[in-house]
Amino acid sequence: MAIEAGGEENLGHLKKDHLNYCTRLKMKQIEGDDAQEVTDIMYLELEGDEKIELFVWLLQTFKKSMGGKSPISIFTDQDATMNNVISQCTNKSVASSALPLSGLLKHASEVYTLSLFRDFEEEFGYSIATTKKLIWTQGNTQFYVVSIDEEPWSAQRVTYIHESQIVSCTCKNFEASGWLCYHYIRILHLHSVNRIPEQYIKKRWTKSAKSSVWNKLENEKPEEV
């Protein structure tokens, strides 16, 4: 538009005004209770003094599109303004992560309950501080030693099969707890695995399991006295 007008000074409005106008148009388009549209707009970069009001409106519209139900879990990047807005609109505590929600961590936030995500997040943080050493390779199987820097006691042997994404670790954390240890996570990240393999997602720790329990309780008929 600036090029066609011969320069920004000839537009008659600022970039902020243009973005706010486009945002209002988008608002009108999603009044039809489309939750996906609401989610999409929340990723836009909103500029101007209306930021707080816009996010309040967005979350309220999202709740409306979901039949008035608040989301079970909300993850943010520790933005204080966003946390305040979420608390106002949902009356829920806000889960935030100091780590970038990408790859394995993002997938964990999507499938796990909040409490389990916290455990996974802790393991993920440890994995960042680890070093790995390839010991040997046999066919499609690779054998590593993974340990936290300058903490030799943390060293564990990890076996990884590339084609099936099967991982095993001598610490046996997954067998004991049901979520991946930082040794596992380090090797999955090494091999550019961005989603937790299905065989390592225990249903009892997932959001879907929690929802199914509540649905079952809601559908049960009260016992006659």
The reply to whether 214 falls in a domain is no
118 and 59 belong to one structural domain? no
The pLDDT score that the predictor gives to residue 42 is 52
Sheet of 130-138: strand order equals 130-138, 141-148, 151-161, 166-169
158 and 108 belong to one structural domain? yes
According to DSSP, residue 112 is labeled B
The reply to whether 218 falls in a domain is no
Q: Which of 72, 96, 120 is the last residue of a domain?
A: 96
Segments in the chain below pLDDT 70: 1-55, 57-59, 61-98, 210-225
85 and 109 belong to one structural domain? no
The pLDDT score that the predictor gives to residue 45 is 43
**What is the tally of structural domains in the chain?**
2
What does the pLDDT look like over 43-100, one tens digit per residue?
A: 454 444 445 666 676 667 666 666 666 665 566 655 666 666 666 666 555 556 667 7
Residue 71: exposed, middle, or buried by beta-carbon count in 10 A (0-12, 13-18, 19+)?
middle
186 and 155 belong to one structural domain? yes
107 and 200 belong to one structural domain? yes
Domain extent, residue 82, equals 2-96
The reply to whether 219 falls in a domain is no
The reply to whether 146 falls in a domain is yes
78 phi and psi angles, rounded to 5 deg? 70, 25
Q: Which of 71, 96, 121 is the last residue of a domain?
A: 96
The reply to whether 150 falls in a domain is yes
62 and 111 belong to one structural domain? no
pTM of the model: 0.57
